Amino acid sequence: MSSWLQKAPFGDSILARFRTSLPVKDEVDIDVCVESFHSHWEQAWTKMQAHQDGTVAVTMDEVNTVLNHTDQLRVLVCWELEQQQGSLPGRLADLFLSNRVPERLLSWSSCCGQFEPLLQSELLRVFEQLLRAGGGSLLEQRALLRPLTALLVRCRSAPAAEQHRRLVLVLAQLCAALQARPALLDLFLGVEPDGSVSSCVVFSLLVEFVHSAGVVGATAREALLRCTRLSADSRPLAEFIVHHSDFCEVLATGLSGLYSALPRTPPAEDEDLPEVDAFVCSLQFCNAVLQTCHPMVSAVLLELVYQGFLVSVMGPALHQSSSEAVVTATTYLELCIRSVDHPGLVRALVRLLLRHRHDGVAVIDTLVQRIAATSRLAVATLSLLHTLLNLNCEDVLLELVLRHLLPCSHLMASQRSRVTETDLYGAGARRLLSLIPACCQPAAAADPRAAAAAWLQCVREARLALTACKLATSRWTYAYDGSDPSPAEAERMTRRRPSSVGSLSLLGMEERGEADGETGGEEAATAAAGTRLSAVVGGGPGGSPVVHSWRLGRLQETGTAAGERAGSPQSDTAADESSPDARHGEQTSNDDGKGVSSNPDSLQSNPDGLGSDGGSEAGSSDASVKSQVWATPPRPRPPRRLAAYAAGPDPYPELDLSEGDVWATPRTSLGASRVGPADDTPRQLGVLAILPDEESSGTESSRGGGGEPVSLSGAEVIGEEVRRDSGAVAGSIDSAEEAVVALGEDGGLAGTDPSLVEDHIPAASGPVEGSQGQSAPDVNSSLQSGIEESDADDGSHVVSLSDLISTHCPSDSEDDGDRPAPVNAQDATSSENATTAADRSAQERSLKPAKDTKETVSPCRDLSTFVERHGGTVRAPPPPPGSAPVSGSGSVPQPPLLSERSAGADTTTAVPTIGPFLLALLERLDRATTNSLQLNLLLMSVISRLAHYPQPLLRSLLLNPTLVCQPSVRSLIQTLGSLKHRIDLATRSVQDAPGLVRWARSRLEARPAAAGVAAPASPGLVQSPAGPGSLPSPVQGLTSGPASLPAQLGGAQTAAAASEGDSGGFSLTGLAGRLRRALPAVSLTMENSDQPRRRPADIISRTSVGPDRPEWDASERRVALTAVLLEQWLAELAAVALEHSVATDRLVFAF
Amino acid sequence: MSRPRATDGDTTRGAPLFRLLPFPAHGTAMDGAGPALVRRGSMRKLLPSVPDQQQQLAMSNQLIDSRTSSPRGAHCYGPFFLEYALLAEYNLLQRQRLPGVYTVPAARTPLVWFGVLFIRQGYYQEGVFRFSVIIPEQFPDGDCPRVVMETPVFHPLVHPETGEVDIRRGFQRWKRNSHHIWHVLLYLRKAFYKIETVQPSNPEAAVMFEKARDMFALRAAECVKLSRDRLMDPPASDDPHSIVFSQFRPEVHEPVRQAMLQPKKEEDLPSGPASAGYSWVQPGTLDIFSKPESL
């Protein structure tokens, strides 16, 4: 700080020209100095006395004279202070104090009228320099302390910026002095009779500048950090901060305010963004405060940040209606996670994702669904998920993956003991390598040396990543090895879990906040965040009136800002909370699942509650209850998001590489059931993104404002109908399922909300499949047995299934018969090459509610796989949107909600599942040939990152090819196998396939150059890794992630990787670096995904890798690029598998 | 006939503490020592910790020239698979902690493991026998690994001229996944405690064991003595990892010994905020964020 201080411009002071520096030398006799002191003081004092009575106006000249003389005094005293080491004041300082120079100057300044600010400012400077020279020693002197405090209080209201600057400087010096001598702290604490601290002028003053821009703000924050550090050891100060200062509120609301100032669209890559810097700076300041302060302070601050910023601003931002805004918000959230490292703050961020519910859906569920969304949204989401995985956080992994694997239901019973098996002889790696597309193989013999070097590189990176991950997860609560906890234990623990179990401490806080908010009177009228904030903190007697009102104003201000930001249509939650109906707001935002109406999960996730529902209530009421829960949000809102988001034209028409947004083609020809982009609530962006525009706008219009009630009753009616048809439907069948089936027959019901129907399409497929038994392709023959099976599992409700099917399936079977055999890879490939138009029409067909229902339900063969995975939907009714079949069809399901998890916990009836997250990843991977390049890169990096985790349940599932899963569970290897198959078929017919592969390689290698950041690629650089096994940069750079080392830089192709990292290409490392530097990452992500597509010809000519071959069409090229990418990724995965096989239990024995 | 003494010969006899070169291999004395050493040890020779492109290229050249790819892999990665398989085997061996058996893979090839066998009971009590394990290139699909004693050993299963121990009798057909190298070493160790005479490699020793047990004991004692006499001799191989014995020199060995006796505690291991993961799952539950926030 002192460095910039010296550079600070003094020229703006009119005193500058009068000021002559006194040449004080070391050898100067102290007596001379004393004499000089006396003479200066005498002259100054004379001038001052002339105006003591205030009758004669002070002139500028007089002020200057006085200041000039006092400045000389200051120089003398400072000189002495610097000379002497002792704590006792020397002669000059003694004179300075005994003459009460500061006090007299201060009192004189009040007589100076217009010159008062100037005098105060100069006085501040004097104090600051004295403090700097003398440290805390002078503070013990009352003659200094009293005027200083008085001056500080007086300056508080000073409007002048210059004075603010000086004030902050003095405060900073003061804090430095206090830190050096914590004992002095008491001098600045205003102690009440009862011993509590009610004021701390230094701290309160500093808080006002915490969000200031420039040097003032930085200095203030630095000084505040010293204070918070002091608070760690000073309980009185900590109590003051918590109860009497608005420090925590200012920080939390400041975050909201700064967030609201962030650009709402992904900014361009190299754009300088002061807003982003300011936001990150503020966030990191919070982080730093948390790391230094007293636990009491951090608890309050964390809660305020969580409620006031994350829940009320970040949460709604993630659920906005425009995809662009959501992409941006996702990226900002990732930026947040990457910017902080205080465990509490990380916890708050993760908690927002895992626990917070927006409109009844956990944020993480929404994110998982977005994996299947448009390319850009999926990219942003995957990037965020990758960052989450990089946290090595048990809670994240438990929620996303491990919870679903713990019951071991995905494995054949005989295989459960094999989970911990070590893959001694690299079977997994061999298998992975064998899945390299054939078109990439022949070249494998070309340059074995480069290949081996690349392989070494790969292996080394894998080892580093694995070691780091193993170390980081070594203190997790469980080992997740199939026995810790065992499936039975896992079941028991999941069962026991009451729906309201939440984070205890935070829950308590929330309740308190709620209560206070109700009684809070006028404060409750302020913005919700403000309400919460003051409520939580308001436990104390309250500050001085001034501070109080100031605080209110502050809160309102920031609250408004936040409202504006998140405001307008998006900020549902914020709006709710700011409404007088605070209660409801609480409930909506209550992420601990207490409110039944707002939390559908509470119904289904509680097995006991479910059982009683099904048992005690008649079918219809039960069904309607559930459908209501799912069909209507806790609080009806105009469905504007759907309209806004889906109706417009796709804002990101993808060019040659990425028609990833469009449905993958294979599905069509496979005749697989197209499970509509089902979603429980139409507000889900991930789903909406997939809706073709025309369709959804139609949907929207038909839906109108009052859609929910209508659709609800429709569902009920249909439910009744079906029950009549099919006999007794016992309790738990979701009425929606019935609704859909019925719809299928009736060809659509007027007045029924089509979107609702769509929402429940997968639900409908659930029971149909459920009745098919495990893996029997023949519908009819297996129907009965399947029913019996499920009947045995859960006797309550399945009887009707057979009726349902017999009633409705004939048409399905016909459909099935008409279609090509489902898993026909030939078709798949040809369809890959099919035009987008075909895609789109198929898509439309599948989305048309009425006639499409049949299609959806029909292809039973495909659906058969559904049973095991989603039988849970049969038992636990409301099937989350997207439980969809996977089997080779390439269909894009909406994965079931994570919150459905507890449904499958019962081991006896456990449904084989690997959880929605893995499912969504594999589904997206299945569409690799249609994904954009960048999406594929991220997807692969996410899966690779998962593979780094040493937990046997996950490791075995991903990397052990000999582990036999339930037939319905598709493993990574299987997905890769079908992908390879499709790629092989597609490339077989391509003319000059080797040339195409060469083109793809050079294209991938040319990317950094294409990004325009790296220097034009030198031929050597580009060609050296052209060897077969060369593991080009992209994947390497990607998977190394932020945690891994820059070790990837070791040679030709790694140089490419490095430059890529620099360019911020698709390398996450680069991205991480950018993010770390608080630069907007969005742009990188976005920009580069587009770039190669924009100018392919340009790239090719620049890298001089042969002429562009026009005979390859876009889809062929896409396939080739995917193939090359896959080759490299498989090598990387193989390396990971190998490293797992030799990973040792103990890490280090160093001596 | 001298009855085997109950005392533990190699440990009570203080003098030669074998020199660790470069790292102790495996066994009870260094149970804490195992894994990490190996990670950094010879098996990793292909994967230098400091990336060096030239070196890597050279080494991969060597690799590719010296061995053809594994038939199964159909890739250039064959040699790597072999190494990983052997490394995994070595990890397995470490977990067994066979008493009195120490092995370390050779520096120049992963296919040779140097070993030393301390016999603590029986006819060969106090013997310190050096041996090599020679692993077939096709491992784990090939034949049973061979074991060759370095010093002549008078034993029914040890060939009097080649020094090869008849291990195959225990592993008629080498089965990957069910047979491991530690089985071989276990078999080797057992052979010195429980003498077998059926189908001997050294019929003389077998006959003597059956007919003239005293004579056999004398001959066994002779080779024990021989093994001890030649303990300090330089090893037969010049491989840097071959096991070398030298007199205990406190200034050299004592610090190492002390360090080994006091393995680092877990909390000393590097763990910072950067390397630490997070867990808020309360033991006994599967609820996220169930652990109270640590303040």
Q: In the prediction, which pLDDT does A663 show?
A: 33
Spatial contact of A988 and A412, defined as CB atoms under 8 Å apart: no
Cβ neighbour number for residue A104 with a 10 Å cutoff: 18
Find out whether A313 and A1062 touch, Cβ atoms under 8 Å: no
Give yes or no for a cis peptide into A498 (omega within 30° of 0): no
The percentage of residues in chain B with a pLDDT greater than 90, rounded to a whole number, is 38
**Per-residue model confidence (pLDDT) at position A558:** 39
For residue A364, what pLDDT is reported?
A: 94
**Which helix (H) or strand (E) covers residue A467, if one does?**
helix A448-472
Token code pair at residue B246: 């030298």
B23 in Cβ contact with B240 (< 8 Å): no
Q: Which of B26, B75, B94 would best serve as a mutation to test chain A binding (most A beta carbons within 10 A)?
A: B75
Q: Search chain A and give the residue with CA nearest B82.
A: A425
Task: Look at residues B110, B39, B52 and name the one whose alpha carbon lies nearest to residue B79.
Answer: B110
* pLDDT attached to residue A96: 85
Closest CA to A136 of A226, A71, A40, A22: A226
* Residue with tokens 């400041």, as numbered in its chain: A254
Nearest to A250 by CA among A555, A506, A563: A555
Which of B73, B278, B291 is the closest to A430 by Cβ? B73
Kindly state the average pLDDT of the residues A660-670: 32
Q: Is the pLDDT of residue A722 over 90?
A: no
The phi and psi torsions of B16 (rounded to 5 degrees) equal -85, 115
pLDDT value at B67 more than 60: no
Amino acid (1-letter code) at residue A840? R
Which of A27-36, A259-268, A674-683 is least confident? A674-683
Supply the mean pLDDT for chain A.
62
Q: Cα separation of A1069 and A412, whole Å?
A: 39
User: At residue A275, does pLDDT exceed 90?
Assistant: no
Of A240, A289, A244, the C-alpha closest to A534 is: A244
Interatomic CA distance for residues A526 and A532, integer angstroms = 9
Assess B22–A contact: CB distance below 8 Å, yes or no: no
Q: How many residues does chain B have?
A: 295
* More confident site: A247 or A811: A247
Q: How far is A1064 from chain B (nearest CA, A)?
A: 23
Asked if residue B159 has pLDDT above 90, the reply is yes
CA distance linking residue B185 with residue A672, whole number of Å: 56
Q: Mean pLDDT highest for which of A648-652, A1121-1125, B25-29?
A: A1121-1125
B30 to chain A, minimum CA–CA distance in Å?
10
Amino acid symbol at A42: E
* The pLDDT of residue B255 is above 60: yes
- Is pLDDT at A330 greater than 50 in this prediction? yes
pLDDT at A937 over 90: yes
pLDDT at residue A679 above 70? no
Residue that has been written with the tokens 């005392």 in this structure: B7
For the ranges A304-318, A491-505, B104-118, B160-174, which has the lowest average pLDDT? A491-505
CB atoms within 10 A of CB A725: 18
- What are the two backbone dihedrals, phi and then psi, of residue B245, each rounded to the nearest 5 degrees? -105, 145
Q: Which residue has the higher pLDDT, A1067 or B53?
A: B53
Taking CB atoms and an 8 Å limit, are B76 and A445 in contact across chains? yes
Domains of chain B and any CATH numbers:
77-230 (3.10.110.10)
Structural tokens at position A1142: 């030799």
Residue B71 in this model has a pLDDT that exceeds 70: no
A191-200: long-range contacts at Cβ-Cβ below 8 A with a sequence spacing of 24 or more? A191/A236, A196/A236, A196/A239, A196/A240, A196/A243, A197/A236, A197/A237, A197/A239, A197/A240, A197/A244, A198/A240, A198/A244, A198/A543, A198/A544, A199/A240, A199/A244, A199/A544, A200/A237, A200/A240, A200/A244, A200/A245
Find the range with the poorest average confidence among A237-241, A292-296, A616-620, B274-278: A616-620
- Within 8 A of B72 by CB-CB distance, chain A residues are 430
Q: Is B17 helix (H, G, I), strand (E, B) or coil?
A: strand
Q: How confident is the model at residue B114 (pLDDT cuts 50, 70, 90)?
A: very high
Q: From the list A455, A459, A1151, which residue is nearest B260 (CB)? A: A1151
Cβ contact, residue pair B285, A497, below 8 Å: yes
Assign A273 a pLDDT band (cuts: 50, 70, 90). Answer: confident
Query: What is A367-383 written as a DSSP string?
Result: HHHHTTS-HHHHHHHHH
Does the structure show a pLDDT above 60 at A932? yes
Contact: A501, B292; criterion CB under 8 Å? no
Give one word for A159, left, alpha or beta, with left for phi > 0 and alpha for psi -120 to 50. alpha
The pLDDT tens digits of the residues spanning A430-451 come to 899 889 888 886 555 556 777 7
Average pLDDT estimate for A1140-1150: 65
The Cα A757–Cα A679 span in angstroms is: 10
**Residue A998 CB neighbours (<10 A):** 18
The two counts, helices (H) then strands (E), for chain A are: 58, 4
Gap between the Cα atoms of A893 and A902, Å rounded: 20
Q: Which residues have a Cβ under 8 Å from the Cβ of A981 and sit 6 or more positions away?
A: A825
Are A996 and A1109 a contacting pair, CB within 8 Å? Answer: yes
Nearest to A449 among B35, B61, B282 (CB): B61
Q: Which of A636-650, A1103-1117, B28-42, B164-178 has the highest mean pLDDT?
A: B164-178
Three-state secondary structure call for residue A708:
helix
Partners of B104 in beta bridges: B114
The residue length of chain A stands at: 1151
What gap in Å lies between CA A675 and CA A56, rounded to an integer?
Answer: 90
CA atoms within 13 A on the CB side of A204: 25
Identity of the residue in B84, B286, B288 whose CB atom sits nearest the CB atom of A493 = B286
Measured on CA atoms in the order A53, A54, A56, A58, is the torsion positive or negative?
positive
Confirm or reject contact between B252 and chain A (CB < 8 A): no
Per-residue pLDDT, A646: 31
Q: How far is B263 from chain A (nearest CA, A)?
A: 7
* One-character DSSP codes across A252-270: HHHHHHHHHHS-SSPPPTT
Q: For residues A159 and A1053, what is the distance between their CA atoms, to the nearest angstrom? A: 60
Instruction: Tell me the nearest-neighbour CA distance from A837 into chain B, angstroms.
Output: 40
More confidently predicted of A778 and A76? A76
pLDDT confidence band for B76 (50 / 70 / 90): low
Asked if pLDDT for residue A424 goes beyond 50, the answer is yes
> What is the reported pLDDT for A53?
66
- Residue A304 pLDDT exceeds 90: yes
Average pLDDT over residues A893-900: 44
Rounded to a whole number of angstroms, the distance from the CA of A1099 to the nearest CA of chain B is 28
Query: Residue B101 corresponds to which tokens in the numbers above?
Result: 């058996």
* Residue A888 to residue B269: CA distance in whole angstroms: 46
Say if B47 is an interface residue toward chain A (CB within 8 Å).
yes
Cβ neighbours of B285 in A, within 8 Å: 493, 496-497, 501
Q: Report the percentage of chain A scoring pLDDT > 90.
A: 21
Best CA proximity match to A383, nearest among A302, A328, A306: A328
Is the CB of residue B178 less than 8 Å away from at least one CB of chain A? no
Determine the pLDDT at residue A621: 36
| Mean of pLDDT values over A1078-1107 | 34
**Burial of A166 (C-beta count, 10 Å sphere; 0-12/13-18/19+):** buried
Q: Which pLDDT belongs to residue A584?
A: 40
Highest mean pLDDT among A80-89, A644-653, B118-127: B118-127
% of chain A at pLDDT higher than 70: 50
* Range in A128-132, A307-311, A345-349, A609-613 with the lowest mean pLDDT: A609-613
Nearest to A942 by CA among A378, A566, A501, A500: A378
Type and span of the H or E element at A707 = helix A707-726
Q: How many CB atoms lie within 10 A of CB A705?
A: 10
- For residues A80 and A72, the answer to whether their CB atoms sit within 8 Å is no
> What phi, psi does B104 have (nearest 5°)?
-145, 135
Helix (H) / strand (E) containing B149: strand B146-149
Residue A822's pLDDT band (cuts 50, 70, 90): very low
- A156 pLDDT exceeds 50? yes
Res. A385: pLDDT tops 90: yes
- How far is Cα A904 from Cα A966, in angstroms, rounded to an integer? 15
- Angle CA A330–A333–A338, to nearest 5: 130
**ω into A487 cis (within 30 of 0):** no
Per-residue pLDDT averaged across B72-92, rounded?
75
- What are the pLDDT digits (tens) for A687-697? 333 333 333 33
Q: Which tens digits make up the pLDDT trace of A950-997? A: 999 999 999 988 888 888 888 899 999 999 999 999 888 888 888 888
Say whether A992 sits in a helix, a strand or coil.
Answer: coil
Distance CA B115, CA B94 (A): 13
Asked if A392's CB is within 8 angstroms of B51's CB, the reply is no
pLDDT at A259: 93
The residue of A424, A434, A440, A461 whose CB has the most chain B CBs within 10 angstroms, and thus the best one to mutate to test that interface, is A424
In sequence order, what are the beta bridge partners of A362?
A357
Q: b/e map of A289-320 (b: 16 or more CB within 10 Å)? A: bbbbbbebbbbbbbbbbbbbbbbbbbbbbbbb
d(CA B144, CA A230): 69
Whether residue A313 has pLDDT greater than 90? yes
pLDDT value at B77 more than 70 = no
As a whole number, mean pLDDT of residues B209-225 equals: 93
Contact B275 A471 (CB under 8 A): yes
